[in-house]
Amino acid sequence: MSKQLRTLLLACLTAVAISSGALAAPSKGGVIDVATIGEPPTLDPMASSADLVGTISQHIFETLYTFDGQWGLVPLLAQSMPTISPDGKTYLIALRHGVKFHDGSEMTARDVVASLERWMRIANRGRQTASVVADLSAPDDFSLKIVLKQPFAPLIALLALNNSAAVILPARLTTQDPLSEFIGTGPYRLQAHVPDQYIQLARFDGYASRSGEPNGYGGARRQYLDEIRFVPVPDANTRVEGAVSGQFAYVDSLPVQSLARIQQGKSEAVILKPFGWPVFMMNLRQGEMANLTLRRAVQAALAPQDMLMAAFGTTDFFTVDGAMYPPGFVWHTTAGTEVYKPMGDTAKASALLKQAGYDGKPIRILTSRQYEFHYKMAQVAQAYLEAAGFKVQLDVVEWATLTQNRADPAKWDIFITHSPFLPEPSLTGMLSDDSPGWWSSETKHAAVNAFNRESDPQKRIALWAGVQQAIYNEVPSFKVGDFNSLIAQSPKLKAVVPSPWPYFWNAYLEK
């Protein structure tokens, strides 16, 4: 990743603390309760692309690489950045010595090869990578060799991301699917999991931290806290009350309308600005949305201005923008966005419905109230789609159920989710053919393959415009806009770096 991209990403993914104080010297000990939006569908980070899974599991499992504080790629379990052959097809990766799994065994290249083979078999992003991998081997106990069929620029970024993640497991566990033992190399180990009550992580005393200073997700990972307990709190209002009362040390994904109430309570409010983008994913495999003309009718019917206003209440927390990356990001382009209309185009949508011969079968929108802004956008979307002539059925389920149901194309036509602005565009889920929605076409492959094969950063910027154009032409999704996220934390909890996937190594409780 270029220095320019890292700088722009740092400037755009800023975290503004509403209240803060000077940090005291770190102290060891203590337990924190972290309120999350619900029970995760799994703790296997390979098996899910849900942010909740990545947030929790990154404390247990680790990847070969990760991202620093400027979203640059840095080694984690790898000793250093890879040596890449002049043709861009062979990667040699040295592994760290002395890294222990939670079962006491030492990580070697055998574990790494077996883990990456499992990742390429079961993870959406792993299967995306597998299509370009010719060979994966271990020249010795502490080195890895990856041979590609063609140059593939996003390889290291894919090995670094913490959801649908290429985590390293003991080789003996890599034949498990689903995973039944959750043993990684991370700073915290799984102590207990009581579904719908808590996930208890305890300090792993055998953890081998990198040296140096903390740097984003990279650098040293210090274990000041004795335990981290992730507590599922599906109801947004209950999360707000828990933040106001000081019940939790950290509360994720709060309704932005609660900002003033949070500020008057016992927690500090923190805004991540801009956080990311809400998106309506279409089911291209079967059902009504497999019809391109009907997808274009949905694209025309939706009114992002009203959807965002209903979800966030004030323009302090959203921007109406159809570009996949906002202005200021190196990846920003307006390619294809001429069809993105802030207030929609009901007449055009109705004409497209007639052209498609729509027979009135209900469009099933899968959503959840655990992310309250998803549900509010779904309600507004329903009204605009029905005004255009669609029949709409809202299926409101728990978030864990949604992440399971979206894997079955028979159960939905549209589902609602969101994503942070990722440092490498190829990490975006829909660019994998296997991601729920199952967008796969010659147009997509031509644009994405050209983008992924190019290593020159400036040329990649231009090629990304072609990918965005293909997204607007074929409508695998509808980007609603950009939004900011609100969280709350105890004033006693220090050194938490606001981030899309919050982490609590290096954090400590002030005595």
Tell me what pLDDT residue 24 has: 52
52: burial class by Cβ within 10 Å (0-12, 13-18, 19+)?
buried
Is 285 in the same domain as 149? no
Q: 94 with 159, same domain?
A: yes
Q: Is residue 69 domain-resident?
A: yes
CATH number at 41 reads 3.40.190.10
Instruction: Supply the DSSP string of 412-457, one letter for each residue.
Output: -SEEEEEEE--SSGGGSGGGSTTSTT----HHHHHHHHHHHH---H
**For residue 254, is it within any domain?**
no
The predicted pLDDT at position 416 comes to: 98
User: How many domains is the chain partitioned into structurally?
Assistant: 2
- The per-type count for the chain, helices as H runs and strands as E runs, is 14, 21
Q: Domain range for residue 340? A: 276-483
Looking at the whole model, is its pTM more than 0.85? yes
Asked if residue 358 and residue 221 are part of one domain, the reply reads no
Q: Are residues 221 and 288 in the same domain?
A: no
Tell me: do 185 and 227 sit in the same domain.
yes
Instruction: Based on the fold, state whether residues 191 and 297 are members of the same structural domain.
Output: no
Q: Tell me, yes or no, whether 213 and 98 share the same domain.
A: yes
Q: Are 234 and 398 in contact (CB under 8 A)?
A: yes
Instruction: Kindly state whether residues 502 and 436 are assigned to the same domain.
Output: no
Instruction: Tell me whether residue 22 is in a domain.
Output: no
- Report how far Cα 179 is from the mean position of its chain's Cα atoms: 21
Q: Is position 66 within any domain? A: yes
- Is the same domain home to 343 and 446? yes
Q: Is residue 269 part of a domain?
A: no
pLDDT for residue 172:
98
Identity at 126, one-letter amino acid code:
G
Extract the residue ranges of the chain whose pLDDT is less than 70: 1-24
Q: How far apart (Å, rounded) are the C-alpha atoms in residues 439 and 449?
A: 14
Q: Which CATH number fits the domain that encloses residue 389?
A: 3.10.105.10
Do 149 and 127 belong to one domain? yes
What one-character-per-residue DSSP string does 143-207 give? Answer: EEEEEESS--TTHHHHHH-TTTT-----GGGTT-SS------SSSEEEEEEETTTEEEEEE-TT-
Nearest to 17 by CA among 208, 273, 256: 273
500 and 438 assigned to the same domain: no
Q: Let me know whether 119 and 196 are in one domain.
A: yes
Tell whether 3 is covered by a domain: no
Judge whether 241 lies within some domain: no
Q: Is residue 426 in a domain?
A: yes
